[in-house]
Amino acid sequence: MNRADGAASMAEHGAVCPSLVETLPDIPRPVLPYERLRRIGIDTGDEYVIYLHEDSPLCRAEGFGAHSRVQIAIGERQLLARLNMVRGAMLTAEEAGLSEPAWLRLNPQPGESAMFAHPASIESLALVRGKIHGLALDSGAFAAIMRDVVARRYSGLELAAFVTACANGHLSLQEISALTGAMVDTGLHLHWPYEVVADKHCIGGLAGNRTTPIVVAIAASLGLAMPKTSSRAITSPAGTADTMEMLAPVDLSLEQMRRVVERAGGCVAWGGSIGLSPADDVMIHVERALDIDSEGQLVASVLSKKIAAGSTHVLIDIPVGPSAKVRSQAEADSLAACLQRVAADFGMRVQCLVTDGSQPIGRGVGPALEARDVLSVLRRDADAPADLRERALLLVTSLLQLIGVTRNRDSARAMATQALDSGAAWVQFQKICEAQGGMRTPGKAAQQYPVLASVAGRVAAIDNRQLSRVAKLAGAPMAPLAGLELHVHLGDCTEAGQPMFTVHAQTRGELAYAMEYVQRHPCIVTLAAGA
């Protein structure tokens, strides 16, 4: 009989396993005073890293080796870090170096000491192994896993194992709902004094398409409460929060966010500064690195944020196109059905709107350039991108119907159009920006280079993914003025030598980097010659 069978047999007969250790010995843990902690200044992203010399007595005392997981505590402040071993004069044997995220999290002060130890075993990994072997997980299992994920107890490899085990249709509808609830429970859950709290989300995959600030402004001008929390870019040239940051501060605390909504009816804030569904923020980095974005994980990611934000009515834009995230109508229908069924488990009303994802929306791709498009539409400029205006009006029309302001589509469209054309939405947007800390004017990149059509013809295709890649290579979103400006759309006729898009960069090196990619990918914009 193996150990597991023996334990099961004893449990069936009411037997109790006696403890083999009545009391734990008082094990001294190595400590280092503040004076021996070094701020290395290395940005390790969202990973905590500790650096020890190869001759460090900590390694000998605790058996630490390269890539070990190390528990570090200063009073009540603690974290799990990955160990990197160093040689030479970077550190002495008696010192410990901390990466920038680890130093900021622990915030060591003079007079304090840091304690080092091996972390406790991660019990929830047994549940992950069960999922790898095809077992279904319940809400309790997902809760245990998510608690360990948020506490950063999982290594990158272990987190990748969990993400992979849940991908490719390996989550049932019940499991998706359980995972969603567990993700919500890892962070704050906002509550608002409004009967209706409106929200919208785009599944993504389109370059540009920065409708959110416009939708929030129109909705708030019509008296709706729309406290919008948005994400920063992970693999795209700009997230909504990155674009909005060109126009107003977005790093709002919960109390600041409440005050903004009370004053202006809506906001566009960065969700990461508030702590909504932090498990999603951890997992999404692994999902993107693995290029895994399966239906179940996408649904849990989107809905956990909306539920945690206190939204009651959510409109979800699902662009469908050959180079969008969702490629077919059948895929869109399946995703929409899953979103609506899981949302119903949490008492939230969701409507999915399948839209054209065949080409970018607007002209700008990158934080500052997209912000300029947003301002152009709200200010009703004569040359404002018509497709961005139309997409925003379409979304507000559907949102008004979903909430029940009016069931008549023509009436909802008229209300949205009037709010935009009268200037009410522009006035409301300025109120939102001022309430968030003051309105800003986006700048322009110093380096610009037009990409010209080699022949005359008609624009037959635009590759969203490659266009976004160009903008990222130019520096977006880290260089917020970088990106590209699109000059043509599907069906447009061009002449040889006419600019198709202009690459924007803040340095000559980044411009050259992006243009080298453009040179190797001549079909980012495809022309039907002679059309």
What CA–CA distances, in Å, run from 108 to 47, 101, 102, 113, 492? 18, 12, 10, 8, 60
**Is the distance from CB of 172 to CB of 345 less than 8 angstroms?**
no
Q: Backbone dihedral region of 169: left (phi > 0), alpha (psi from -120 to 50 degrees) or beta?
A: left
Instruction: Look up residue 45 and give its amino acid.
Output: G
Least Cα distance to 81 among 149, 13, 152 occurs for: 152
**Is the distance from CB of 480 to CB of 439 less than 8 angstroms?**
no
Six token digits for residue 54: 């190869």
Separation of alpha carbons 308 and 284, rounded Å: 17
Least Cα distance to 104 among 35, 186, 48 occurs for: 48
Six token digits for residue 493: 């006729």
What CA–CA distances, in Å, run from 84 to 51, 88, 91? 5, 13, 12
Radius of gyration for the alpha carbons in the chain, expressed in angstroms and rounded? 26
For the question of residue 293 being annotated catalytic, the response is: yes
CB neighbour class for 418 (10 Å; exposed up to 12, middle 13-18, buried from 19): middle
Separation of alpha carbons 301 and 283, rounded Å: 9
For 291-347, the DSSP string reads T---HHHHHHHHHHHHHHTT-SEEEEEEEE-TTSSB--HHHHHHHHHHHHHHHHHTT
What values do phi and psi take at 358, rounded to 5?
Answer: -80, -15
Six token digits for residue 346: 């949490």
What CA–CA distances, in Å, run from 374 to 213, 244, 434? 7, 9, 16
Q: Which residues contact 65 (CB under 8 A, 6 or more apart)?
A: 59, 83, 85
Separation of alpha carbons 277 and 305, rounded Å: 6
Six token digits for residue 322: 């050959």
Pick the catalytic residue from 251, 293, 345, 492: 293
**Is the distance from CB of 462 to CB of 489 less than 8 angstroms?**
yes
What are the residue numbers of the active site?
Answer: 293
